[in-house]
Amino acid sequence: MTDLMARLSSESDIHSVEAAEVGFSIIAKPDRVADFSLMIRAALDCPDAPFVVFATPIESAQDGQYERAHVLPL
């Protein structure tokens, strides 16, 4: 779980990170949307995670891809 939180909160070749007043936002890099979406689905599927994820789906995509998410640590 802490590995996933570290992946979410650290910029990578998959996403960028923006600080927020509470928590942080992560934004998919345009050429890595599929990988970003896999990471977001993993975060959404963690029932005992020390955070909550609010993901924004890509409206034009029909296969559950995400363009950004906001992460709130608990």
d(CA 68, CA 30): 11
| pLDDT for 54 | 96
Could you tell me the pTM of the whole model?
Answer: 0.89
Higher-confidence residue of 43 and 60: namely 43
Note the pLDDT tens digit of each residue in 25-55: 999 999 999 999 999 999 999 888 889 999 9
Query: 43: part of which helix (H) or strand (E)?
Result: helix 33-44
The pLDDT mean for the chain works out to: 92
How does residue 2 score in pLDDT terms, banded at 50, 70 and 90? low
Query: 37: part of which helix (H) or strand (E)?
Result: helix 33-44
